[in-house]
Amino acid sequence: MGQTIAIISALHEEQAGLLALMPGQRPERLAGREFWRGQLQGHEVIAVLSGIGKVAAATTTAVLMERFAPQLLIFTGVAGGIGDGVSVGDIVVGSSYLQHDMDASPLFARHELPGYGRSRLLADPRLVALMQQAAEQAIAWLPRQLDPATRAAFGLQVPRVHCGNLITGDRFVATAAESCALRTELGSALAVDMESAAVAQVCHDYGVPFCAVRTISDRADDQAHVDFPAFLHQVARHYSGRMLETALSLL
Ligand code: ADE
């Protein structure tokens, strides 16, 4: 028996790839967002775009929970790589999430989520293992979908899958100085984005298993504002469809 699975995408390009795998899907409009309902690999899927930033992503997730009551939630998008060896084209499966711009000190420790007694929220371990397996399978196939010039331009010859801490804040990190400061402050962080930890918090509140998977579009450095749109345009759309199809077939 299939499950009800929410899939939040960060990008139009990714969502288009996913919807193409869900024939007969239809949209429902709520809170200014389109929620697409369809079937994939025998599961009921609700697909929606997150919106950009923590508030937009949290609102999307709360509406999903209230209207569709998914049994699990997967987020796919892109992120800036900040960990050593996390390169453009690699995939990061988030096993824990932290808001790097959360600061209620001195009332609470730096990064602590007020009311939660901790700064990091964990992904569901079973979903992490599943997404790692799906990402490993997809990544072996992905570079072959791109023409050699695009592969060379982005250095996508042997992309890798990493698993670990994703950090989130309402800021596009676009200087080497800032990504270096984040790396120094939060040593274990692999990548930075603008939504994952917010979605993780809402999933935690509703008790729904969650995992975010992020493809590295840039290195969150002085080149990020150039690499990011080029990656979205030329590469990102190839990534999530196949990975999600594989993941849902393994559930
Ligand atoms: N998403 C993709 N690249 C990013 C960056 N450099 N900073 C924040 N979010 C991102």
pLDDT tens, N- to C-terminus, the chain (251 residues): 699 999 999 888 888 889 999 988 899 999 999 999 999 999 999 999 999 999 999 999 999 999 999 999 999 999 999 999 999 989 999 999 999 999 999 999 999 999 999 999 999 999 999 999 999 998 888 777 788 888 888 777 788 999 999 999 999 999 999 999 999 999 899 999 999 999 999 999 999 999 999 999 999 999 888 888 888 878 877 788 889 999 999 99
Contact (CB, 8 A) for 78 and 232: yes
What is the reported pTM? Answer: 0.95
Q: How far is the CA of 29 from the centre of ligand 1 (A)?
A: 28
Closest residue to atom 1 of ligand 1, CA basis:
79
Amino acid identity, residue 248? L
Q: How far is the CA of 168 from the centre of ligand 1 (A)?
A: 9
Ligand 1 neighbourhood includes 172 CB (under 6 angstroms): yes
Catalytic residue check, 218: yes
Q: How far is CA 177 from CA 48, 111, 168, 220, in A?
A: 34, 20, 17, 9
